[in-house]
Amino acid sequence: MSDIKNKVQGLDPNVRARDVHGMASKTENIYETLNIISKRARQLAVDLKHELNTKLEEFAVSSDTIEEITENKEQIEISKFYERLPNPVIIATEEYLNDELYYRYNEKKRLED
């Protein structure tokens, strides 16, 4: 996962307009292109969430009282770092445009064509 964090450090976290027809030129279908990007974005979101939760669990303190809320600066810094990362859809779109995604069709799809 750390390679994804290193790779996305240079990405612009802001959403910008894209040439839809240019993106669909690889698959010749915009819906297939969007499906590929959305599936990869879901994978990234799950991976990043799992990694964040495991890092935050290190700081978890089990106490029975609600009044004892402690703030940990390391915990806050980790949370802020993950908040500053680009949205998984932006990361997946960049991966798709840079030909870094592998996708294939099922046999059933090929037989229908």
The pTM (predicted TM-score) of the whole model is: 0.75
Q: How far, CA to CA in Å, does 35 sit from each of 57, 65, 104? A: 33, 46, 12
According to the model, what pLDDT value does residue 80 have?
A: 86
- Which among 8, 81, 82 has a CA at the least distance from the CA of 49? 82
According to the model, what pLDDT value does residue 45 have?
A: 93
Tokens standing for residue 17: 């307009």
What's the rounded Cα separation, in Å, for the pair 55 and 112?
46
pLDDT in tens, 74-110: 888 888 888 888 889 999 998 898 888 888 877 765 5
Distance of CA 106 to the CA centre of its chain: 24
Higher-scoring residue by pLDDT: 62, 19: 19
Query: Which of the four pLDDT bands, split at 50, 70 and 90, describes residue 3?
Result: low
| Position 39 pLDDT exceeds 90 | yes
Give me the mean pLDDT over the 11-28 stretch: 83
